[in-house]
Amino acid sequence: MTYKRLLFFSFIFMLALAFALTLEDASVVDAKGLAKPVFDSPINKKDDHGGPPPANEKGEVDPENLNSDTPVRDPETPGFFIIFLDGAIDEAVQVKLFSTGIPQNVPPLPHTLQIPSSLVPTSGNSPYFFFAVWRRAVEGGAVTKFGQPILINAPYQDLGLSGDQENRIRLWMYNPASQSWIKLGGQVDTFNNVVTGMVTSMTPWSENGNTLFALAFDDSPALTQDVDAFGTTTLATPLRDDFQLRVPAGSVEVGTHFEISPFPVNPDSEPFEFLGEPIHIDVYRINYSALSPEEKYHMASLSRPVTIEFDPSEYLNQAGDNSTLTIVTLIDGKWVDVEELGYKVNRSEDSITVETTTLGIFALTTK
C-alpha cells in the first residue's frame, strides 16, 4: 500500500471515530422534534428556561420595556405563556393564571381536552383556567381591554388525538352576560402542543376579576369560499345562510385567516331587535415558521374595505320594509348602529350591506 493511500485511510478512520464520539450521548427524538418551528415553546423543556425568555419570571410586564415579542409566564403555571404585543398596555401589569374545575352554574363546554398535569401540576387535567392582567399600581384593578392583542398560549395533551382533531383545537372564553362560550381566533402549534388565542377584550367572571377560559375542539363546519373573475373572495358560514363577507383582492396578505362564527346576543341589546344571531368576524395571522417575532403573531389589518352583507328576505314580513333594517356593531359592551359611526348602509330587497376596514361583531337588526 502506497504512503498516500495509507494516509487517506487514516484520515477516513479519524473522521469516523470523531463522528462516533459525537453520537455517543445523542438521544432519540420523535417525529415532532424533527420538524420544530423556529419558535420553540417553553412547554417542551424540562426546566423553566426553555423557549422565549419571559419578560419577568414574576409575571410582570412594564410598557417601558415592551417590544413586539414580550413573553411572560406566571411562575406558578409555567406551562402557559402570554405574549404582549407592542402597544397592548400603557401601564405596568402582572399576569395571574391558575387552573380550575368547571365553576358552578357555568354550562360545560362540549368536546373539551385536557391540560397535561406534567406541565401544569395544579391542572388536574382540567380544560378550564382563570386568567387576569392586574394593574400593579392599583390594588385590585384588572385590565380588560388592550391597545393591541395579547396572545394566550396554552398547552394541551395530545394523547390519542388525530391530526385533524389537533388542528381543530381552539381557545374559548366564557361570557357571563350571555352565559355562553366565545371562540377566540387562533391557531395550533401541533409540534409543541400549544394552542394560541388572540384577545383584545376580556369578559371577567366578576367585576374586576378573573376571566374564565377553556380548551376544546371547534366542531363548527368550515367556511365556504368562492372567488370571482376579479379576485374577490366571498366567505360564508353554513351556520348562518343569510350572511356573507366579500373580500376584494389585495385586502389582506396571502395566508391571512378569517374566523367567522355566531356570537351570543348580549342581554343589553335595546333598542334593537335582532334578526338572527350576531356574527363575530376576526382576521389574523399566526406563522410559526416566520423568523421575526412580529411576523409570527399579529392581528391582520385590512388595506381595502370588505363588505358585510345580510340577506333580509326572510325577515321583511317581520320588519315591514327594509328601511327599518340596519347593521349594528358591539363596542365596549354596547350595540351601536354603524350609521352613527359614519358608515353607509346600503339597503335593497335582497341585501343589507356595509363596507368597513374594521372587523368585530355585527348583527342585522330593526331600528
> Which is it for strands 128-135 and 361-366: parallel, antiparallel or unpaired?
unpaired
Q: Which amino acid, residue 310?
A: F
Residue 338 pLDDT > 70: yes
CB burial readout 245-282, b (16+ within 10 A) else e = bbbbeebbeeeeebbbbbbebbeebeebeebbbbbbbb
Q: For the residues 105-121, what does the mean pLDDT come to?
A: 88
Query: Do residues 311 and 276 make contact, with C-beta atoms less than 8 angstroms apart?
Result: no
pLDDT grade, residue 317 (50/70/90)? Answer: low
Q: Which amino acid, residue 146?
A: F
Contacts of 121 by beta carbon, 8 Å cutoff, 6+ apart: none
Query: Do residues 210 and 204 make contact, with C-beta atoms less than 8 angstroms apart?
Result: yes
Mean pLDDT lowest for which of 30-44, 113-127, 133-147, 235-249?
30-44
Cell of 108: 360545560
In the chain, % of residues over pLDDT 90: 27
Q: What is the mean pLDDT of the chain?
A: 78
Indicate the pTM of the whole model.
0.72
Q: Which residue has the higher pLDDT, 44 or 193?
A: 193
Q: What is the pLDDT of residue 273?
A: 87
Q: What is the pLDDT of residue 214?
A: 95
Residue 93 pLDDT > 50: yes
Q: For the residues 71-83, what does the mean pLDDT come to?
A: 86
Q: Which residue has the higher pLDDT, 25 or 332?
A: 332
Q: What CATH number labels 32-217? A: 2.60.220
Residue 61 pLDDT > 50: yes
Segments of the chain assigned to CATH 2.60.220: 32-217, 224-366
Mean pLDDT lowest for which of 42-56, 118-132, 262-276?
42-56
Q: For the residues 146-172, what does the mean pLDDT come to?
A: 88
Contacts of 183 by beta carbon, 8 Å cutoff, 6+ apart: 170, 171, 172, 218, 220, 259, 261, 280
Q: What is the pLDDT of residue 327?
A: 96
pLDDT grade, residue 121 (50/70/90)? Answer: confident
Q: Which residue has the higher pLDDT, 192 or 346?
A: 346
Q: For the residues 270-297, what does the mean pLDDT come to?
A: 75
Residue 201 pLDDT > 80: yes
Q: What is the pLDDT of residue 56?
A: 60
Query: Do residues 57 and 84 make contact, with C-beta atoms less than 8 angstroms apart?
Result: no
Query: Do residues 346 and 322 make contact, with C-beta atoms less than 8 angstroms apart?
Result: no
pLDDT grade, residue 295 (50/70/90)? Answer: low
Q: Which residue has the higher pLDDT, 37 or 187?
A: 187
Tell me how crowded residue 56 is: count the other CB atoms within 10 A of its CB.
16
Q: For the residues 65-81, what does the mean pLDDT come to?
A: 78
pLDDT grade, residue 242 (50/70/90)? Answer: very high
Q: Angle 218-224-228 (CA atoms, 0-180°, nearest 5)?
A: 155
Tens-place pLDDT, residues 164-191: 888 889 999 998 888 889 888 778 888 8
Q: Is the domain defined by 224-366 classed in CATH 1.10.287? A: no
pLDDT grade, residue 299 (50/70/90)? Answer: low
Q: What is the pLDDT of residue 172?
A: 94
Q: What is the pLDDT of residue 360?
A: 86
pLDDT grade, residue 50 (50/70/90)? Answer: very low
Cell of 202: 376580556
